[in-house]
C-alpha cells in the first residue's frame, strides 16, 4: 500500500480475543459457539482519502 503498488486494501483486527472468549463461554456454559462471527473491517486508506487521491490522479 504505502509503496504505491496497490491503491487500497482491507484491514482486520486480531480475532484471538474473540476466539478465546467464545471458547471460554462454550466450556463454562456448555453452549455451542455461533457458526459465524462477524468482525469489523476497515478500508486503508479510508474511503474519503481514496476518493481524494483518485480525484487528484485523474486531474493530471
**3-state DSSP call for residue 3?**
coil
Task: Report the predicted TM-score, pTM, of the whole model to 2 decimal places.
Answer: 0.54
**3-state DSSP call for residue 20?**
helix
Q: Sorting pLDDT into bands at 50, 70 and 90, what band is 22?
A: very high
Q: Which residues of 14-52 are buried (b: 16+ CB within 10 A; e: fewer)?
A: eeeeeeeebeeeeeeeeeeeeeeeeeeeeeebeeeeeee
Please indicate whether residue 5 or residue 16 has the higher confidence score (pLDDT): 16
Amino acid at each position: 500500500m504505502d509503496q504505491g503498488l496497490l491503491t487500497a486494501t482491507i484491514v482486520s483486527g486480531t480475532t484471538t480475543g474473540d476466539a478465546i472468549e467464545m471458547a471460554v463461554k462454550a466450556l463454562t456454559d456448555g453452549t455451542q459457539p455461533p457458526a459465524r462471527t462477524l468482525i469489523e473491517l476497515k478500508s486503508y486508506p479510508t474511503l474519503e482519502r481514496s476518493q481524494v487521491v483518485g480525484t487528484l490522479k485523474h486531474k493530471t
